[in-house]
Structure 1
Amino acid sequence: MRDLGVGFGHLLKGQRWVARHGRQFGFGLVPGLITLVLYAAALVSLALWGQDFVTWATPFADDWSSPWPGLFRGLLTALLFALGLLLAVVTFTAVTLLVGQPFYESLSETVDRDVSPDGTAPESELPLWRDLWISGRDSLRIVVRAGLWGVLLFALGFLPVVGQTAVPVLGFFVTGFFLTEELTAVALQRRGVQLRERLVLLRSRKLLVWGFGTPLGLAFLVPFVAVFLMPGAVAGATLLARELLGEEIRDGDGRTDPEGAPDAPRDEHAHR
């Protein structure tokens, strides 16, 4: 259970870090604002026309006696919007990171230098277009995985009692995991840790990941909050990446050396 607190602590430390670096925080708001406008338009469209879509997709309910067609379609509309909201929360981070890739790379490197005992940070030797390609490709893979989970949770939502209690809770933990993967990818990709290796690393310390990502996922449900938390989330995810890799972290309280963190493979593209 200690890892839950450690993960949440890194989330708070990331927010405090950007609060002390106002200029980088300001630049970090721009990608989130652009993405927010796009997602808000999509969710509003889903809210306005989601019921029409459900009615079109369920012609077999037309012959049911009242009030069952309305209740059935109302439930499906609510579940459809919940699924859209879940995917929006998960993919918001991926799209925002892609839009703001140059800034967030710079932000993550600055955090690494600030907390590293020797003041250095791993740097990718790949050109920007290559980093963008890898980031976009990996983000698409994560979105597909998250989408499959979303479909599964959508189907489980039809189960009596469980679908209205346990499934939403499970959904938040799933969201938290994928959010953390997307955010830590900024720091881990610079270290040459590939997607498959990142997933193994994150699964090895699920409580740490949930402590960081689940509260963040809940906060992202509040309009505009995601935009203001994104810079600090990237900073906190950099600290979390160091924790996962067992790298020493130096802060105002001194140096801490994470215990029990497994080593992760690195490749020739990352500086040592």
Structure 2
Amino acid sequence: MQINRLPTGAHYLMEGIRLITHPQLRAFILVPLLINLLLFVIVTGVLIQQFDSAIDWLMSWLPGWLDFLAWILAALVALTVLVAYGYSFSVITNLIAAPFYGLLAEKIELHETGVAVESEPLRQMIPRTIGREFTKLWYFIVRGIGIAILMVVMSFVPLLNLLVPVIGILWGAWSMAIQYVDYAADNNRWRFTALREQLGGNLFSTYGFGGLVMLGTMVPVVNIFIMPAAVAGGTLYYIRELSRADTDT
């Protein structure tokens, strides 16, 4: 398989979907799936309640002479809300389920390579993995605010406003790749900055993988199951394209 290609990155997720059904790995996705199911009910309920209000608020700000743009703006808002929904669902779920996803990534790496990562007691792994999630969350918040400001400014500029959804999609795909490849990288004690550098050096695989994961998180019900598969796919990506890199750890 050729590396650093959009189809290759997307294929990692498809392999991950197949991999989590393996008899030796099924037990490690049960708790994350239960967490996903509970949060799915909560987050999706909030989305349904707020979506109509967001559309009405936007239309109230649209001058009458621009009514012909209403359907375009509604479509852009719908796409933005879906991206935000998938992103929020992923962040909240991963923060809670991080130790279980770390364990799943560890078992997948052992299954694929036959080499076990350095083990540690659960009482040490839980605070370490949750701490790593907060590191990622801080990164997502700080960069996300800057990108959100840029998108708001661009939305008032004719023609440039058409790029707003593209920027949102690229940011979402990059974030999803970081989120799900990081479980294997963290298990192998990679620095967070080293992971970002390596993902940036393999942008096509990164966006192929992260883009398909983001699409899955935007689809209700599918997003319940996509996250364990994304952990599996991200671990495969780490093993096949990133693990030989010099990370100065």
* 1:157–1:55 distance in 2 versus 1, CA, 3 Å: closer
Between the aligned partners of 1:157 and 1:28, the Cα distance in structure 2 is 37
Residue 93 of structure 2: which of 90, 96, 99 is its match?
96
Match runs of 1:199-218 below 5 Å: 199-218=196-215
Where relative contact order (Cα < 8 A, 6+ residues apart) is larger, the structure is 2
State the partner residue of 2:170.
Answer: 173
Residues 153-207 of structure 1: CA distance to partner in whole angstroms, max 9, x if unpaired? 344345545544x543443232111101011121212222232222112111111
* 1:158–1:264 distance in 2 versus 1, CA, 3 Å: same
Letter in 2 for 1:140: W
* 1:150–1:225 distance in 2 versus 1, CA, 3 Å: farther
Query: How far off its partner does 1:28 sit?
Result: 3.0
State the partner residue of 2:189.
Answer: 192
Residue 15 of structure 2: which of 13, 17, 26 is its match?
13
**Higher percent of residues as helix:** 2
Q: Does 1:122 align with 2:121?
A: no
Q: Normalization by structure 2: what TM-score?
A: 0.82
**8 Å CA contact 1:7, 1:240 repeated in 2:** yes
State the partner residue of 2:4.
Answer: 3
Between the aligned partners of 2:145 and 2:37, the Cα distance in structure 1 is 24
Match runs of 1:1-272 below 5 Å: 2-4=3-5, 5-21=7-23, 22-51=26-55, 53-54=57-58, 58=61, 66-68=64-66, 79-117=76-114, 119-123=115-119, 126-161=124-159, 163-164=161-162, 166-247=163-244, 262-266=245-249
**8 Å CA contact 1:153, 1:167 repeated in 2:** yes
Higher mean C-alpha displacement, 213-222 vs 79-88: 79-88
| Identity within the alignment, % | 21
Q: Normalization by structure 1: what TM-score?
A: 0.75
Residues 91-131 of structure 1: CA distance to partner in whole angstroms, max 9, x if unpaired? 322221111122211111100111124x3123457452243
- Corresponding residue SS for 1:100: helix
Between the aligned partners of 2:13 and 2:207, the Cα distance in structure 1 is 11
Measured on the aligned residues, the alpha-carbon RMSD in Å equals: 2.9
State the partner residue of 1:253.
Answer: none
Number of equivalenced pairs: 243
* 1:124–1:53 distance in 2 versus 1, CA, 3 Å: farther
Could you tell me which runs of 5 or more consecutive residues in structure 2 were left unpaired when the two chains were aligned: none
**8 Å CA contact 1:83, 1:154 repeated in 2:** no
Residues 237-258 of structure 1: CA distance to partner in whole angstroms, max 9, x if unpaired? 11112234334xxxxxxxxxxx
Could you tell me which runs of 5 or more consecutive residues in structure 1 were left unpaired when the two chains were aligned: 248-261, 267-272
Structure with max Cα Rg: 1
Letter in 2 for 1:46: Q
Letter in 2 for 1:226: N
